[in-house]
Structure 1
Amino acid sequence: MNTVNKLLSRRFVLFTLVLLLKSSLAWLVVFGGGANLRMALTEIPFFCAVFCLIEIFARKRQLLYYVIANLIFTALYFTVLMYYKYYGIIVTYHAISQADKITKVKESTYSLLQPQYLLMFVDIIILLVLLVLYRSKGTRAPQLRLKPYRKAALRGILAVSIALCMLNVWPNRASMNETEQAEEMGIMNYEVFTLLSDSTQKAQLIDSKEITQAAIDKLKGIVPPQTPQYRGAEKGKNVIVIQMESFQSFLIGLKVNGVEVTPTMNRLAAGDFYYNHFYTMVGQGTTSDAEFTVNTSLYVPEHEPATQNDVNKVLPSLPKLMQQNGYTTATFHTNDVQFWNRKELYQALGWEKYFDHSYFGDEDHIAFGASDEVLYKKTAEQLIRMEDAGQPFYAQVISMSSHHPYNIPREKVTLDIPKKLNDTLAGRYLEAQNYADRALGGFIGQLKSSGLWDNSVVILYGDHQGLPVYALSKAEKSSLEEMLGHPYDYKDMFNIPLILHAPGITYPAVQPKTGGQIDLLPTIANLTGAPIDNQIHFGTDLLNAGSTPSLLPMRHFLPRGSVVSDTGIFVPGAGYEDGTPYPFAGSAADSGRVSLEEFNRTLSLLDYSDSYIAQLPDRTDAE
């Protein structure tokens, strides 16, 4: 035990070195570089400050406090790298507060785990064993009394460590790019900074009187036409909106070993209106955020899912608008309505009915509920009943089988993927989307045979990205590049399809106009003749967008200030000046960069939306 005692007596240095190794792993995954001077200068002072506090104030059980601190640091580093693997951003306390969702998506979480990540916890297991052995010998740690010179030294180290932490944080506090900000500050400094800054800074709300539709249109740079094209062209027709899980645009037309991955979507894209520059606009709530944005034409919150707080407000919405114009409304999802607080979301949006797990059951289980085949079969039965009632309806259908990590039962897999993609995220994704497309084809067939297809506006779009570039191996990226003919990056990751089937109008098939999920409400309202002059909306009617430049602010998955334009995606650095453009194919090398004036307008749009929602009346029917 003497050796153990000597080892543990050097805990200050030992624990610092151990945590330095763990931070190196986190930095390697997140920033692409392991141990380096910047990492040491940003992470070590934080460790030292905490350990000095333990040494100065803990007279008993110092080792226990070291172990607890080590466990907390380890858990944070582990959470940071796991979160980054899927979301591509640095996790903060906002996301950690939603940790209960992990138990519901544990399969997705486990799929991101690599064996080397578990090395972070080896020392903790060893320390716990040593502590048990130490205590089993009946040894009791004596109460420590710091000698004056040692106390002075510790206070000096503490002062220097805190000063270094401040020097890392202060110059970078205004940076817009959260990932770069965390790299400059250090991960631990960044976590504390976000916690303290959010708790001390109050949001400055824009006066509700200033938030008018005219002001929003001016920020977007649009002038709505006096007589919109196709106004009421589909009045009285049903509206069926199909939200497709994790579906990205690059799948349209893609072949693997000479076989179409998504033949149903390919046929729809060729025969109806296909918007090939359409983008996801979700945040932390992913699928539920897509439901929120599509049905409100409002931007999602910056640091939390829309279903956390925004659903407590009296929201203007598409279901309410359609009901005011003689429609019945219903939404369909095979998951439990409690997940992502959807019960509150659906009440806030004003859906008359929702059909969830209690209706679809657990038949043919895939992912979190009944398969897409069951979803579409039982949904079609309900839609036919709604049609027979003699009143037009608005229905939203949420697919789910192709959910990350894309584990489709082998008996349902029919796509023959290249061997190098076997049992990879990219390979499973292609298999899952091929299955989802097959199930969708059955649904379209039911709509056509029942006559609903010819009496309905049908809209299909992806909810969010399915293949995070951060989670792909080099081999997967190489395979995707071979398939696509260009490197897979942000432009592919956030690009989702929008297909519009409107039987009463004729329009060029492929629409190059840039749009996003926020644009669906005004587009549907125009087609059905539903008036929205008195309803605040941040989207643009895509059928009347014309040549007006598009500006789509992005949140959560990209740094604040990121924007999709007609020429590319712009991602800011510390600010606008050092931002990076990702130009679309065929555009000039720097064409993805928006002007400073456009950049500031997109930030204002987000502020307007946040302020508008914050000042809406609270719901009185909230449970």
Structure 2
Amino acid sequence: MWFPSQMGRIAAKPFMLFSALMLIKIYLVRYFIWGTTELWAALLAGLPSVWVFFCLAEWLFAKRKFYAYLVLDFLISAVYIAVTIFYKYFGVIPTYQVLKQIGQVSEVKGSVFSLMHASFLFLFADIGLFILFLSSSRAFRKWIENGKAIARIRGNGVVLSLSIVLSLFSMWLNKDIVNELRQAEVMDILNYEVFAAVASAKEVQGDPTEVTQKTIDELKHLETGETSTPLHWAQAKGKNVIIIQMEAFQNFLIDLKLDGKEVTPNINRLAKASYYFPRFYQQVGQGNTSDSEFVVNTSLYVPKHDAATMVYSNKQLPSMPKIFGANGYQTATFHTNDVQFWNRNNLYKALGWQKYYDDDFFGNDDIVMFGASDEILYQKTAPELLKMQQSGKPFYVQILSMSGHHPFNLPKRKNNMKLPQRFENTLVGDYIRAQNYADKALGQFIDELKRNGVWDNSVVVVYGDHLGLPKYTLNAREKGLMKEIYGREYDVQDMLNIPLIISAPGATPERFPQLGGQIDLFPTIANLLGISIQGQIHFGQDLLNNDTNVLPERYYLPSGSLITDNGIFVPGNGYEDGESYSFASGKTTKPAATRQQFDEALRLLRLPDSYVRNLPDRKEN
């Protein structure tokens, strides 16, 4: 075979061959993630980090050098494709901390595979060709297996030294960039991974004694001290509390009609009959759903690098289950998945739930996604709530819906909605169909609670746990469908927007315009029940008594991002080159945050890191 023979001659200089291949891959990854097409950036930022590994291969492998390069090619390509897939859902560049969650991948493999794109396979194309040549051409194998035929590059030490210097200079030059995504772009992927690992190891924890409620309130510009009884104080005193966390439920679904047909008729009716907060936002991190449970029940921000379940579940966490339990409430949480998924078995102990219900209780009938369907969830939960009410003590429970999980491949038996043809075979259409089913199951649950008498004696809270449609994942057709829904381009101000609905006995329906986040649920519900949380550190605020808010964001937006009453601010290298998004019209030149708000938000995020890590360790129980 002529072609493999010629390839064998080229393979005699693997440094040059694989450098050219890696330059192409660096270029492709930069295009997939940032849409940039500057070849010089790939050459100056990306190639030196690859050369460090190639030079080491030159030193360590006198023979079978080609195989060493091939292994490095595979490993680096695997990093590139993993980073690309991760970005397409989360919009962030993963670091080594994500490896701690590798055990969860088997549970969400459907979501992972759905993010694969045929173009990503170009990153492995050369490896496939080399394997083909190795298996089919004796001439090719002879060239690469002949140690003498593979020349050592001249000046290997000089190239290695220069590569290390260039990589370190890139890290040093860009170390102060606040926005991690921008930092990874200018450093390039491999340099950024090394920098992130070193920076994380060198992080200095703050002084926990600085974390006081007064400090928090001052940073948020809230009035301190109790000057009068808050509005709605004890409005629902002694009532049950039912929190329903809807999987991947975004706010645009409410009142949405496709060709005149309602998508979520049951939630629409509930919103119209309750307190409804349309400007409510997610604040989760790596743990997604489990992080939402953490934030809602503690009023603390998620950790910077990890899922809260993984790093905070060994602590004695102040929480809503503990406070409400101390005030005479029974507490329990309901989720159809295995309690060990995302380390919930330990998180639930740290939060102080008195009881949990998982797949051992709900069984394996009518499976949708990772467990029993939402219908089974609600059918089996309703009788338990009635039993708890009949005990004579109020209860606080959290119920986790799950059938609307990405990638929204709802079984046909659950398909209750005929989509307009333009939505068929799209992620947007699959998402809407899955949420239509989730809405139907919730409606059945509400009807049952009204029938058995639990509803009229309960505060019912419904909110989304996190986004369902990342803008990074959508193709051109799907972006067009979202533009049809919104009447403008779909962007970050829409992506993170989830609904909050609070139904309380005797409450007059009202639509609240103020900004809120998941961190605000704890103080808001406590106010409704007349349960004081004075003396307990909380970073949220009572939404029924505050008209202004600031929400620092992590993970789904770069560090330094925050949501204010004016919109969403995302930093660039720092504050000065940041971008702003208005709630109504998208990207705008009017700053959504002041420099003071930006600095205060960064400080707010640092406070709970030191506070939680210095809490007493939880005793095993």
1:529 match:
530
CA gap 1:326/1:75 in 2 versus in 1, 3 angstroms: same
The unaligned stretches of length 5 or more in structure 1 are: none
Secondary structure of residue in 2 paired with 1:336:
coil
1:369 match:
371
Q: Does the CA-based 8 Å contact 1:583-1:592 persist in structure 2? A: no
Alpha-carbon offset, residue 139 of structure 1: 8.8
| 1:46-61 equivalence runs, <5 A | 46-61=49-64
Alpha-carbon offset, residue 295 of structure 1: 0.3
| 1:153-168 equivalence runs, <5 A | 153-168=155-170
What TM-score do the two structures reach when normalised by structure 2? Answer: 0.95
Alpha-carbon offset, residue 10 of structure 1: 1.9
Alpha-carbon offset, residue 354 of structure 1: 0.5
Q: Which amino acid aligns with 1:219?
A: L
1: distance between equivalents of 2:141 and 2:160? 34
CA gap 1:50/1:589 in 2 versus in 1, 3 angstroms: closer
1:471 match:
473
1:25 match:
28
Secondary structure of residue in 2 paired with 1:33:
coil
1:452 match:
454
2: distance between equivalents of 1:312 and 1:410? 42
1: distance between equivalents of 2:439 and 2:39? 47
1:328 match:
330
1:82 match:
85
Alpha-carbon offset, residue 141 of structure 1: 4.2
Alpha-carbon offset, residue 589 of structure 1: 4.1
Residue deviations 1:500-537 (CA, integer Å, cap 9, x gap): 0111443x510011000000111111111222112111
Secondary structure of residue in 1 paired with 2:544:
helix
The answer to whether the aligner puts 1:37 opposite 2:36 as a matched pair is: no
1:519 match:
520
| 1:285-304 equivalence runs, <5 A | 285-304=287-306
2: distance between equivalents of 1:408 and 1:422? 13
CA gap 1:141/1:473 in 2 versus in 1, 3 angstroms: closer
2:192 match:
190
Residue deviations 1:102-135 (CA, integer Å, cap 9, x gap): 1110111111111221232222233234445669
Q: Which amino acid aligns with 2:306?
A: E
1: distance between equivalents of 2:25 and 2:153? 28
Alpha-carbon offset, residue 61 of structure 1: 2.6
1:620 match:
619
Q: Which amino acid aligns with 1:552?
A: L
2:557 match:
558
CA gap 1:13/1:442 in 2 versus in 1, 3 angstroms: same
2:210 match:
210
Q: Which amino acid aligns with 1:510?
A: R
Q: Which amino acid aligns with 1:37?
A: W
* Larger mean Cα displacement after TM superposition, 55-64 or 330-339: 55-64
Q: Does the CA-based 8 Å contact 1:257-1:416 persist in structure 2? A: no
Q: Does the CA-based 8 Å contact 2:64-2:144 persist in structure 1? A: no
Residue deviations 1:398-451 (CA, integer Å, cap 9, x gap): 000000000111232222222222111111001001110011100110111111
CA gap 1:418/1:592 in 2 versus in 1, 3 angstroms: farther
Secondary structure of residue in 1 paired with 2:309:
coil
2: distance between equivalents of 1:146 and 1:17? 17
Q: Does the CA-based 8 Å contact 2:19-2:51 persist in structure 1? A: yes
1:259 match:
261
Q: Percent identity?
A: 47
2:347 match:
345
2:595 match:
596
1:388 match:
390
Alpha-carbon offset, residue 146 of structure 1: 10
1:543 match:
544
Secondary structure of residue in 2 paired with 1:314:
coil
The answer to whether the aligner puts 1:403 opposite 2:393 as a matched pair is: no
Q: Which amino acid aligns with 1:568?
A: G
Secondary structure of residue in 1 paired with 2:398:
strand
CA gap 1:135/1:321 in 2 versus in 1, 3 angstroms: farther
Q: Does the CA-based 8 Å contact 1:56-1:151 persist in structure 2? A: no
1: distance between equivalents of 2:361 and 2:342? 18
2:72 match:
69
1: distance between equivalents of 2:153 and 2:571? 45
Q: Does the CA-based 8 Å contact 2:483-2:489 persist in structure 1? A: yes
1: distance between equivalents of 2:491 and 2:607? 30
Residue deviations 1:232-251 (CA, integer Å, cap 9, x gap): 22111000000000000011
The answer to whether the aligner puts 1:101 opposite 2:100 as a matched pair is: no
Alpha-carbon offset, residue 584 of structure 1: 1.7
Alpha-carbon offset, residue 35 of structure 1: 5.6
Q: Does the CA-based 8 Å contact 1:583-1:590 persist in structure 2? A: no
Secondary structure of residue in 2 paired with 1:98:
helix
Q: Does the CA-based 8 Å contact 2:62-2:147 persist in structure 1? A: yes
The unaligned stretches of length 5 or more in structure 2 are: none
Secondary structure of residue in 1 paired with 2:479:
helix
CA gap 1:198/1:534 in 2 versus in 1, 3 angstroms: same
Secondary structure of residue in 2 paired with 1:104:
helix
Q: Does the CA-based 8 Å contact 1:230-1:505 persist in structure 2? A: no
CA gap 1:55/1:509 in 2 versus in 1, 3 angstroms: same
2:572 match:
573
1: distance between equivalents of 2:51 and 2:351? 50
- Aligned with residue 173 of structure 1, among 162, 175, 180: 175
Residue deviations 1:349-405 (CA, integer Å, cap 9, x gap): 010110011111111110101000000110101101111111100000000000000
Q: Which amino acid aligns with 1:28?
A: Y
Q: Does the CA-based 8 Å contact 1:59-1:145 persist in structure 2? A: no
Secondary structure of residue in 1 paired with 2:502:
strand
Q: Which amino acid aligns with 1:311?
A: S
1:583 match:
582
Secondary structure of residue in 2 paired with 1:337:
coil
The answer to whether the aligner puts 1:274 opposite 2:273 as a matched pair is: no
CA gap 1:137/1:269 in 2 versus in 1, 3 angstroms: closer
Q: Which amino acid aligns with 2:603?
A: S
Q: Which amino acid aligns with 1:596?
A: R
Residue deviations 1:544-597 (CA, integer Å, cap 9, x gap): 11x3x3110100111101001111000011111111010122799444521111
Alpha-carbon offset, residue 38 of structure 1: 1.1
What TM-score do the two structures reach when normalised by structure 1? Answer: 0.95
CA gap 1:36/1:138 in 2 versus in 1, 3 angstroms: closer
Q: Does the CA-based 8 Å contact 1:458-1:502 persist in structure 2? A: yes
Secondary structure of residue in 2 paired with 1:75:
helix
Q: What is the number of residues matched between the two proteins? A: 615
* Larger mean Cα displacement after TM superposition, 327-336 or 186-195: 186-195
Secondary structure of residue in 2 paired with 1:298:
coil
Q: Does the CA-based 8 Å contact 2:364-2:372 persist in structure 1? A: yes
Q: Which amino acid aligns with 1:541?
A: D
1: distance between equivalents of 2:144 and 2:476? 52
The answer to whether the aligner puts 1:7 opposite 2:10 as a matched pair is: yes
